[in-house]
Chains A and B, each alone.
Chain A
């Protein structure tokens, strides 16, 4: 639908470098990256608010590099919602229709169902300054949807909301994407949001796009150590392949020997990525399992987080496993408990140094 072909642009000292990406119709496309990476600039470039210094932007195959934002049929919702403070809720929501030539009464009638849908009909005559964060966000979303955009651009829309409102809003967004078939591009630094919503995603670091593809693939099989770190893989170990037998490689990392499924050959420097979800922990000596990697160690920390707990085990290197809190209680795991960790060779993602 919209395609960036080697787009570069400079904004003061910041530079977006050679970015190529494709957003397809119906995608829920996530742009993730650390703070200051250029996510919002990229989003604004999609909106047409920054003109690239080089490269092309294509919409349905036609070049739109110089097309101004008002002609792109995109709608943008910022993190701070950016409601017009001098306009009532109804005027905010109908603004897009009004500037596109619709009469005031007609525009108000047009957005009335939208106000009902987002549960803000009772706020019609209120000014934005009197609304709560959640209400402001629903108004901002309704205002964006009112102009029936081809692409909805969201800049970290959940970051300023409390957890309960976040859950409601995630449901709203999911419905917009699935039921309305809207193409959505969302900037975020939350892996959880990406897990819940994204169909495709791009990782941007220091103005460069370092990974792009289906959300599951980017999240679980990152292309580089920095992407692995950013997408939240808990156990990242640098090591060297010492042998490879029919695609099952032996890797020495942090003084430990791992087996992992990879084509990496002996002598190759690699990075092992192990999700904490994929680490099985047995208290004490454990039992024999089919897992190719079994490591003995001692629990050094248990961090409870809702229904689960992150258990950090010193097995020569510190590895993290995620267990349910019930498991932690049943196994009597506390700091100092001897433990055995098991990881299947197929659960280890190997990043090869040349990739």
Chain B
């Protein structure tokens, strides 16, 4: 009788397993979960590497502080960040007009060729990029020779570091900026022109303000790429030591202990700076683009 009653129950009691299955089915998107796991593996490698160095370094804080507070490391970090910032300033000055022209010109062979040239530093091995910069800016180079005559030397000098950083970082800025300009509707520029604004005024008052976020993002990307460069820089300017050169020098002369402490210091400083810069993008060039 009891079995019969259960079998005719229109709402039979659910097992725990069934309820869990239903709960998961309602609350979990398996596709998203799969993507999260796969992406997590990638992030995991970075986290693991950071955890590895942090564990070792934090075990000997006295040594870490000694290395981090040394004038050579501080000067090198400041030099690296400063040279990277100089390269980015030059990129903003020269790369912004280039990005605008690329964004607004119609497709053509010339445009395709220029875009490919812009991308060259992306596809070259860094040593090749460094060699190209060296050959052009060395004392007997096409540009190095005339510039050295007016007192601007590049070999083993800060200008050499800046120009190498500029070269390798340029695609990051130009391509990001071009995407930003492409997102500004041409109609806005056309309207501004008919209202009396000349080409440059239109660029200054309409196009550029609407592309500020891209400019900022491009500058951060380019700066990050610039300060991380090593092979490209040492070909023309082994001295003065930028941070990557200093770590390499320290690794080959003092060994892993000191070079690891310098590296950890750089990681902490870079992480802090980039975190602040990324936070700032929230407040820059934001506008309601529902129009």
Contact = CB atoms under 8 A, between A and B. Distances in A.
B198 A68 contact: yes
Contacts of A77: 191
B287 interface: yes
A77 B205 CA distance: 19
Contacts of B287: 85-86, 127, 129
Interface string A308-343: 000000000000000000000000000000000000
A85 B190 contact: no
Contact of A143 (B187, B195, B206): B195
Contacts of B67: none
B205 A99 contact: yes
Contact of A99 (B106, B197, B290): B197
24 contacts: A12-B106, A47-B190, A49-B194, A69-B194, A70-B194, A72-B194, A74-B194, A76-B191, A76-B194, A80-B185, A80-B187, A82-B190, A82-B291, A83-B291, A84-B188, A84-B206, A85-B210, A85-B287, A96-B196, A127-B287, A130-B288, A143-B195, A147-B196, A153-B194
A83 B187 CA distance: 9
Contact of A70 (B197, B288, B291): B197
Interface of A: 12, 44, 47-49, 68-70, 72, 74-78, 80-86, 95-96, 99-100, 127-130, 136, 143-144, 147, 149, 153
Contacts of B291: 80-83, 85, 128-129, 136
- Most chain B Cβ neighbours within 10 Å, of A12, A86, A100, A130: A86
Given A49-B193, A84-B206, A78 B288 contact: no
Contacts of A130: 288, 290
Contacts of B194: 47-49, 69-70, 72, 74-76, 149, 153
Contacts of A47: 190, 193-194
A136 B290 CA distance: 11
B185 A82 contact: yes
Interface in B239-291: 285, 287-291
A129 B288 contact: yes
Given A68-B198, A80-B291, A95-B197, 11 more contacts: A76-B190, A76-B194, A77-B191, A82-B188, A84-B206, A85-B287, A86-B285, A96-B195, A143-B191, A144-B195, A147-B196
A149 B192 CA distance: 13
A116 B92 CA distance: 42
A77 B198 CA distance: 18
Given A12-B106, A84-B206, A99 B196 contact: yes
Nearest to A101: B196
B201 interface: yes
A68 B195 CA distance: 11
B209 interface: yes
A144 B194 CA distance: 9
- Most chain A Cβ neighbours within 10 Å, of B187, B196, B198, B288: B196
B187 A128 contact: no
A129 B290 CA distance: 5
B209 to A, nearest CB: 5
A99 B202 CA distance: 9
Contacts of B187: 78, 80, 82
Contact of A85 (B196, B197, B289): B289
A99 B199 CA distance: 11
B204 to A, nearest CB: 10
Contacts of B185: 80, 82
A74 B190 CA distance: 11
A158 B209 CA distance: 29
A127 B190 contact: no
A72 B191 CA distance: 13
Interface in B101-128: 106
Contacts of B196: 70, 96, 99-100, 147
A95 B188 CA distance: 12
